[in-house]
Amino acid sequence: MRLRVVMLCAVLALPSCATPGSSGVSADESSNTLVVSTPTEPDSLDPTFADTFAARLVFTSLCEKLYDVDNSLRLVPQLAAALPSTSKDGKTVTIRLRKGVRFNDGTPFDAAAVKTTLDRDRTAKESARASELEAVSRVEVVDPATVRLRLKHPSAPLAAQLADRAGLIASPTALKRLGENFTTAPVCVGPFRYRSRVSGNELSLVRSPYYYDRNKVRLSGITYKFIANSSVATANLQSGDVDAAEHLDPSDAVNLESERGFRVLRSKTIAYQSLSVNVRPDAGTALSRSADLRRALEMSINRRALNAAVWNGQEVPDCGPLPVQSPMRTEPSCTPFDPAGARALIKRSGVKPPIKVELMASTGAATQREAQAVQAMANDVGFDVSVRPLDLVSALVLARSGKFDAFLVGWSGRVDPDGDTNGLVTTGGPNNFAGLSDPKIDDLVAQAAATDDTKERARLYAQVDRRVSAHRALFYLYHNTWFLGTSRRLHGVDYRPDGIPRFSTAYLSR
């Protein structure tokens, strides 16, 4: 979610960036190239700076990680040869690596390459990975196939971070050649390598000749097309212009299921949707000054009705960040839908209704429908909500600078609860849009990260949830079900609970 302000030619400056020496696509390649629509465009293709779900989607085809997650959300080795080994004091982590692996430029993948990337992640200005690797004080090369991490303190979430973008390893040769321009021609280890990008339109990958498991890769390439409107993406799927449509709205998915020639894959994801209220001292709004008014706003929202009206009942209404799959989840105590109680709180506050609130929401059709549903519910109890549609990039910039009243925003979720709390509700966190600042929350999150006792961590995260709820600065609305529509010609897609479809073993039948 965190976006780098300077995005270079991959997003803003040039209409197209291609790998030097890349050529056109032959007819045979074109017929065996998977075309996937996705509603949002990646920000950066540099793992150190990338911070959108769309980038995570592309990275599964382009850049492998030290670890991944399986269909039960358990960590599994990817570029690592085994799960990490941790010392008794929790402050030394040893990672064994696959041997005989090459980057997509043909150069060797080894411990020195891992050190180069992790050191860059930890120290680069504006790095989106620095906070994720905060516990690491030093990266050591033991031998070409072994890397050792020295930690400042024990870190239970570290392995899970290495199963996300912090574990993506870039080619040191390409990094040296391109520097901050790495995003224009990224080189990693992956089943596909970068070919070209046309900003606002598409991104093209081609099968890598260097991939260690290349015999299992049956596609010639993948083209990701950026189609913001789900109905338009569905129409493109129906016409055969795309082979798969990612992140379909539930209504489009339900309709597609009834048509011959198509299938719909579902992922009960770890992602969630929330509403952040700006509580910074300088926000200067009635909502920012009054926890009672914020509680009244939450009491006006009927999560189940919202799910039914906007999402065809396909989401999972909830009021906490941890999904049902998490072993550290405890059932949260939800603020009930109570419009009469909300009106009473507004009356008691002394603020004369209607109370003006500007609700910022991204421009996607479904998100706008959701914003309008929240608007109607809140206005019914005494608020005067206006909806401000913005593209996600602009909305995130305003959110991080505190220039908003309320913000309807999703989070793609993380395997470890630290990734759903640290940085989102901790003081100064890059995704703490509300501007919430509570030293006790900061301390609880730090304590939870410093122990590997699952029961103790669950107890600590339950306390975090209660304190966040008491501030009334962040309302969790539901956990997402995501839909991937495909042609029946497409086989072998691996759609996991992290909501990211994997295409490395996919193929197209005639």
Two tokens, residue 28: 């045979």
- pLDDT band at residue 172 using 50, 70 and 90 as cut-offs: very high
Scan for tokens 């952040």, then name that residue: 276
Q: Residue 105: exposed, middle, or buried by beta-carbon count in 10 A (0-12, 13-18, 19+)?
A: middle
Two tokens, residue 387: 């909806």
Q: What is the pLDDT of residues 91-122, one digit of tens each?
A: 999 999 999 999 999 999 999 999 999 999 99
Question: Is there a contact between 32 and 141 (Cβ–Cβ < 8 Å)?
Answer: no
Question: Is there a contact between 52 and 402 (Cβ–Cβ < 8 Å)?
Answer: no
Q: In percent, how much of the chain has pLDDT > 70?
A: 94
Two tokens, residue 173: 């040769």
- Determine the pLDDT at residue 28: 62
- pLDDT band at residue 194 using 50, 70 and 90 as cut-offs: very high
- pLDDT band at residue 393 using 50, 70 and 90 as cut-offs: confident
- Determine the pLDDT at residue 13: 36
CA distance 132 to 166: 7
Q: Residues 353-371: what's their mean pLDDT?
A: 93
Q: Which of 153, 157, 177 is nearest to 167 (CA)?
A: 157
Judged against a pLDDT cut of 80, whether residue 496 lies above it is answered with yes
Q: Residues 43-64: what's their mean pLDDT?
A: 95
Q: Residues 187-216: what's their mean pLDDT?
A: 97
For residues 102, 105, 106, 111, the Cα torsion angle rounded to the nearest 10 degrees is -40
**SS3 state at 35:** strand
Judged against a pLDDT cut of 60, whether residue 133 lies above it is answered with yes
For residue 212, the one-letter residue type is Y
Judged against a pLDDT cut of 60, whether residue 20 lies above it is answered with no
Question: Is there a contact between 214 and 84 (Cβ–Cβ < 8 Å)?
Answer: no
Judged against a pLDDT cut of 50, whether residue 156 lies above it is answered with yes
- Determine the pLDDT at residue 132: 92
Instruction: Tell me the DSSP string of 260-291.
Output: TTEEEEEEEEEEEEEEEE---TT--SHHHH-H
Q: Residues 170-183: what's their mean pLDDT?
A: 97
- Determine the pLDDT at residue 29: 65
Q: Which of 478, 304, 494, 448 is nearest to 507 (CA)?
A: 494
E-assigned strands of 98-212? Answer: 136-143, 146-151, 192-198, 202-207
Q: Residues 65-74: what's their mean pLDDT?
A: 94
Distances (CA, A) of 390 to 33, 72, 148, 432, 449: 33, 35, 44, 19, 35
Helices 230-239 & 365-381, crossing angle to 10 degrees? Answer: 150
* Beta carbons within 8 Å of 179's beta carbon, 6+ residues apart: none
Q: Residues 266-280: what's their mean pLDDT?
A: 95
* Beta carbons within 8 Å of 236's beta carbon, 6+ residues apart: 37, 225, 227, 242, 245
CA distance 84 to 94: 6
Question: Is there a contact between 75 and 83 (Cβ–Cβ < 8 Å)?
Answer: yes
Q: Which of 364, 357, 345 is nearest to 273 (CA)?
A: 364
- Determine the pLDDT at residue 18: 41
Q: What is the pTM of this model?
A: 0.85
Q: Residues 300-312: what's their mean pLDDT?
A: 95
Question: Is there a contact between 2 and 128 (Cβ–Cβ < 8 Å)?
Answer: yes
| Radius of gyration of the chain from its Cα atoms, rounded to whole angstroms | 23
* Beta carbons within 8 Å of 372's beta carbon, 6+ residues apart: 387
Q: Which of 231, 228, 234 is nearest to 393 (CA)?
A: 228
* Beta carbons within 8 Å of 305's beta carbon, 6+ residues apart: 337, 373, 377
- Identify any residues that bridge with 361 across adjacent strands, giving them in sequence order: 389, 408
Can you list the domains of the chain with their CATH numbers? 8-19+26-226 (3.40.190.10), 269-481 (3.10.105.10)
Cβ-count burial 424-441 (b if 16+ within 10 Å, e if not): bbbeebbbbbbbbbbeeb
- Determine the pLDDT at residue 173: 98
- Determine the pLDDT at residue 392: 85
Judged against a pLDDT cut of 60, whether residue 10 lies above it is answered with no
For residue 13, the one-letter residue type is A
Q: Residues 123-134: what's their mean pLDDT?
A: 93
- Determine the pLDDT at residue 391: 87
- Identify any residues that bridge with 206 across adjacent strands, giving them in sequence order: 193, 221
> Which backbone phi and psi does 379 adopt, to 5 degrees?
-65, -25
- Determine the pLDDT at residue 5: 36
Two tokens, residue 38: 């996705």
